[in-house]
Amino acid sequence: MHLPKKVTICDVGPRDGLQTICTAITTAAKIKLVEGLAAAGLARVEAGSFVNPRVMPQMADSGAVLAGIIRRPGVRYRALALNARGWEQAQAAGADHLCLVVLASETFQQKNARSTVAGVMAAYAPVVTAARAQGVYVQGSVGTAFGCPYEGAIASGRILDLVRQWVDYGADEVSLADTTGMADPRQVLDLCTRVRERWPALALSLHFHNTRGLGLANVLAGLQAGVTIYDASVGGLGGCPFAPRASGNICTEDLVHMLHCLGIETGIDLEQLCQVASWLEATLGLPLSGQVMKAGPRWQTHRGGGA
């Protein structure tokens, strides 16, 4: 296998993870989570989203979270937005990394934002220009890139066309998102190879869910295609609220553990990250799906029993 030497991870737990939790979570706890992830060595943390609070009430305090964190040098604090108003709110809160999302599936786009794919993309053009003019790093995301629970398979030509539009707009990075966990490794390798062949200089990232247990296998396929930027969620928390039975994101600790086993650098302190995951589990009062936070890394040894 031809694997990269270093990988960058963005932890989306404070946004993609917490948005699925129905019980109230204090702003202070969210700030502690963001700061804990940054302290563990995450180069990027998705601190919140600026969307309709009636649809995503858990994200209503994203502005307060971004304003309240103590920022670490070298860390990007990402915010998600779905329209120009969301960008304006993210800018006011001091987000230095903006993620704009379009869904490749027309059906899913309607459910997610009540708009057409073409309409969403047209509205994003001036947002990308304005954000980059302010020195904000812009990431254009293509959701349901590997399939839709309502429409099924999405033609690769449609995905490539949306990537082209993001590139034409001047996005700093393009993400392919497996919004509902439908990707498989062969599909990931094929699509990522096509994107990299057409735009070899493009910063390409991947966002996987572990809905069907293929999350880390899909990362391995992405690595083989040369992709070096991945989203993951602390403790494996999260899932898409608009997709039937869509469980959580790939787990950050489990991903870091696999990468370290492969000799790939992440800059992340795995032990410290597991402590953040354990704290989050206790804070939420919910069992998280991460495995390494429970079992420890494979290189950890224990004293044997016996007489």
Asked if 213 and 184 touch (Cβ cutoff 8 Å), the reply is: no
Asked if 107 and 88 touch (Cβ cutoff 8 Å), the reply is: no
**CA atoms of 206 and 86, how far apart (whole Å):** 22
CA angle 177, 181, 182 (to 5 degrees): 95
Strand-pairing partners, residue 81, are 50, 100
Asked if 12 and 238 touch (Cβ cutoff 8 Å), the reply is: yes
Q: At what angle do helices 215-224 and 252-261 cross, to 10 degrees?
A: 50
Q: Which residues contact 208 (CB under 8 A, 6 or more apart)?
A: 178, 181, 183, 215, 218, 219, 230, 231, 232, 249, 250
Of the listed 10, 99, 148, 240, which one is catalytic?
A: 240
**CA atoms of 142 and 164, how far apart (whole Å):** 11
Residue 10 neighbours by CB distance under 10 Å: 27
Is 240 catalytic? The answer is yes
Residue 304 neighbours by CB distance under 10 Å: 5
Residue 114 neighbours by CB distance under 10 Å: 10
Within 13 Å, how many C-alpha atoms sit on residue 110's CB side?
4
Which residue in the block uniquely carries the two structure tokens 């304006």? 88
- Which residues belong to the active site? 240
